[in-house]
Amino acid sequence: MLPKYESVCYELLRPEQVKEIKEKCPIAYITVGSLEWHSLQNPLGTDSLKAHAVCCEAALKYGGVVLPPYYQGLTRDWGPEDWYGYTLSILGTDEFEAMMLKVAQALVQAGWKVIVGVTGHDVGRQRDAMARAIDAATRETDAVGFALMEGELHEVNDEIPFAMDHAAAWETSV
């Protein structure tokens, strides 16, 4: 982690710091990725590391806190033969969604008003499971939320000229 992110990483903050951030800007970011092959030049946790950095940058610019990354993305159905035996995945879609629901519910219960889920593992079913969990956790509350894949950022911001390219030039440069 970069030192500049220390002021927004939930696990590094003290209670008074979290309270101050929540009162000023009650946004909580949930970051998720996978542990899988990203070619020889990238760490196996690239997906989570990217999502976490994207959210830290957003929190620095707009406010809020970033939860530690979850390294259990939805890769279980693919099997190790598809990713050279380096993929470590224990969760199916239902289990992943249940875990995200518990996290989002805890955030809402703690008073966070905006829940943002970001996955660096650009798989639609992972984003969709996060979105369903956040929707369920915020339903009938005064909190709101959404989920997206970090590769979708170029669709909402013209200044970001990239799209997902698993372990290729853009993902490696990130």
**Per residue in 141-172, pLDDT tens?**
999 999 998 877 655 556 655 666 666 666 66
Unique residue bearing structure tokens 């519910």? 105
Judge whether 145 and 137 are in contact, CB under 8 Å: yes
3-state secondary structure of 119: strand
Residue 82's pLDDT band (boundaries 50, 70, 90)?
Answer: low
**Per residue in 37-63, pLDDT tens?**
777 888 888 888 989 998 999 999 999
| Beta strand extents in the chain (DSSP E only) | 27-32, 65-66, 114-119, 144-149
Burial 7-23 (b: 16+ CB within 10 A, else e): ebbbeebeeeeeeebbe
**C-alpha angle 42/45/46, rounded to 5°?**
50
Q: What is the pLDDT of residue 124?
A: 85
Dihedral sign from CA coordinates of 72, 75, 76, 82: negative
Which CATH number does 3-173 carry? 3.40.50.10310
Arithmetic mean of pLDDT over the chain: 85
Q: What is the pLDDT of residue 112?
A: 98
Rg (CA), the chain: 16
